[in-house]
Amino acid sequence: MLEQKVALVTGAGRGIGRSIALRLAAENMFVVVNYFGSASRAEETVKEIERTGGSAKAMRCDVSDFAACGEMIQEIVKEFGRLDVLVNNAGITKDGLLMKMSEEDFDKVLDTNLKGAFHCIRHSARQMLKQKKGRIVNISSVSGVMGNAGQANYSASKAGLIGLTKSAARELASRKITVNAVAPGFIDTEMTEVLSDAVKAAAASQIPFGEFGKPEDVAEAVAFLASEQAKYITGQVICVDGGMAM
Ligand code: NDP
């Protein structure tokens, strides 16, 4: 069994997930860098962690696939003997107005963002229950807290994650497993890069801080919730949003 704590971060090849992986590695955790489409970027994240003296491994898995998540987590437990931290970060958008949204676009977003987190929690919880300890952090969104026109599917998935967080927190509390959510506002990543300048300006005008956040801002909140210091915090939603959803 590894002496180091082991963390699994889904969708950690780029964006917020990558920052979270680097931040947890800086806490001396062994990080499993999950990816789906971008193998080379996941390998780059691993190399970056190794360059800074940490250790990590990339693992491919589509989080929307229940059985594949089970296999990935079984492999982690078999290889490292433990799983201490799970960060459900993988997420997608397929934006559009409700009246034009296809059933496929609704399902796809729910399958990745909400069911993906359920799949990973469902398979990780067994090991954490055995260890009588664990930290689960789900990356929600201010869209899930406030709603957002043009994101009915995404908002539903991110609000669903908050319900999932609170129910799992209640179920797992007796074994000292904490489950919390972090709800980022607008953060500078590839997900927001696609927005037009006009949409970005309109978004920034709704943020009391007047600007988008950085992936590192989200990673700091996740690192805290994953730490020993956060042992008495569970079922909470921390918004990292420059004051947007207060
Ligand atoms: P990016 O689009 O930059 O990255 C998304 C990540 O999710 C990629 O690493 C991608 O992996 C992974 N992913 C997508 N589908 C799957 C899948 N089926 N299985 C495994 N991994 C998958 O997004 P961000 O970094 O911006 O977002 C990260 C999280 O933060 C998401 O949950 C997002 O909803 C949330 N968030 C982001 C905000 C923002 O403003 N950026 C605001 C609020 C919340 P790969 O490339 O390998 O396919």
Q: Is the CB–ligand 1 distance for residue 118 below 6 Å?
A: no
* Cα 34 to Cα 39: distance, rounded to the nearest angstrom: 9
**22 falls in which pLDDT band (50, 70, 90)?**
very high
> Which of 154, 184, 212, 244 is the catalytic position?
154
Mean pLDDT of 153-161: 98
- Residue partners of 229: CB distance under 8 A and separation at least 6: none
ipTM over 0.95: yes
What's the pLDDT tens digit per position in 166-181? 999 999 999 999 999 9
* Cα 119 to Cα 140: distance, rounded to the nearest angstrom: 16
- Decide if 189 contacts 15 (C-beta within 8 A): yes
pLDDT for res 210: 97
pLDDT for res 116: 99
* Cα 154 to Cα 107: distance, rounded to the nearest angstrom: 10
Any domain includes 36? yes
* Cα 234 to Cα 239: distance, rounded to the nearest angstrom: 15
More confident residue, 156 or 195: 156
pLDDT for res 155: 98
Catalytic site includes residue 232: no
What rounded mean pLDDT belongs to the chain?
Answer: 98
Any domain includes 72? yes
pLDDT for res 165: 99
What's the pLDDT tens digit per position in 30-73? 999 999 999 999 999 999 999 999 999 999 999 999 999 999 99
- Residue partners of 110: CB distance under 8 A and separation at least 6: 153, 156, 157, 160
Any domain includes 1? no
pLDDT for res 128: 98
pLDDT for res 94: 98
Domain of 171 in residue numbering reads as 6-237
User: Which residue among 8, 14, 16, 194 is best mutated to probe the pocket of ligand 1, counting the most ligand atoms within 8 A of its Cβ?
Assistant: 16
pLDDT for res 56: 98
Cross-strand pairs, 59: 34
Any domain includes 181? yes
Q: Annotated binding residues for NADP(+), as ranges?
A: 11-14, 89, 154-158, 187
What CATH number did the domain enclosing 221 receive? 3.40.50.720
SS3 of 25, please?
A: helix
Any domain includes 243? no
The domain total for the chain is 1
Q: Is the CB–ligand 1 distance for residue 139 below 6 Å?
A: yes
What's the pLDDT tens digit per position in 77-136? 999 999 999 999 999 999 999 999 999 999 999 999 999 999 999 999 999 999 999 999
